[in-house]
Structure 1
Amino acid sequence: MSANNNFTMLSEESLTRQPEEVFDILCKLGEGSYGSVYKALHKESGNIVAIKQVPLDTDLHEIIKEISIMQQCDSPYVVKYYGSYFKNTDLWIIMEYCGAGSVSDIIRLRKKALTECEIATILSDALRGLEYLHSNRKIHRDIKAGNILLNSDGHAKLADFGVAGQLTETISKRNTVIGSPFWMAPEIILEIGYDCVADIWSLGITALEMAEGKPPYADIHPMRAVFYDTD
């Protein structure tokens, strides 16, 4: 079994079969945005993948947006998307498996903040991921340690595009308040329009989160933190 980075999109034949014919679920990894995430074996290749199972009674518009963003991305610094299945009342989203988990998982399990060298390595990969997204006119909008995953080689990859936004040639700034309060840029909170720079603010907060074990103002209510950020 391997988490092979050469694994690509699922074949058309595979996508017409029932997902349990194609994959063996090995264990539950945790809860992601909108659904549960599992580690699974792709039977034909022996590769390990991650499967997010999303109940169909959730906001399908947001899920389809997430899949659309992932489909368009092809970068070693962004989690890869392999295909999707409808199974009973769930949508199965097949993605690249990152065996070391999220950066926030690592902080929680080690019960201590990261070292300066570890932070620099993660930020280097995350910045390359953001450079790729921004050059393709995409904004992640929810950068935080929980959405940066590490593979078994220690490389960081951006994940969880449930709230990602896309810029167009005619609309240069978004105006929707969305994301996680402690990591939000002031221009998002104030609804004054924002662009890719908002992700850089969130990455700066993530750097503090990695260094201190939590983001600034984490000990107060999220809505109070919002007002602190805009003062």
Structure 2
Amino acid sequence: FDMKAITNKAHDHNCLVGFDLAHATGNIGLKLHDWGVDFAAWCGYKYLNGGPGAPSGVFIHERHLGLKDIPRFEGWWGHDKANRFDMPEEFMPLETVEAWQLSNPPILSMAALLASLKIFHEAGISQLREKSEKLTSYLEALIKSELSNQIEIITPPSPQSRGCQLSLRLLQPVEDITKLLHDRGVISDWREPDVIRVAPVPLYNSFKDCYTFVQILKSILNEC
């Protein structure tokens, strides 16, 4: 989706704009501030590799900072540090995005997420995105070449219009196909009634992985 265009259109009608970026953060390049997005939220356990229970994240555009009457959950960590221990009845938000903090952060979970973010910073999201588009294009070409009569790709065909995940619809049902894939070393996801979701992640997957996956899937489909 063109988030900048959506944001501009919504603002033309005096609407606030927020995005769910669970499948975008760590997957594609984002310029939320430059696009004028009001707020966004995402999880840390998917493409950011924080693991189960990883902290989530939020973005709040700076034009909303310092406002006292904005609807939100308010907690101890978001109160002005200068008089936090005075326990005033009125909530005094910090002038930064910290005003949206509620309570103590989970330190051990944040440590794992921080380790991953350092790797992202070193690799660079632009370089990762470039590799991601090549990986999904290669995987798409392999599937169309070798499995076109058994698999339909329902993800948008343009690499620029998708992340690193491809959704593959089985043209003929195969019972427990994700288990069969798992038994051969492939971690995939299943969505009823007939879709396998696979994601060659540029940070740690290779073109060889894509080729190997297609050969394994082809073998399973031919056996069934």
* Rg larger for: 2
TM-score by length of 2: 0.28
More helix, by proportion:
2
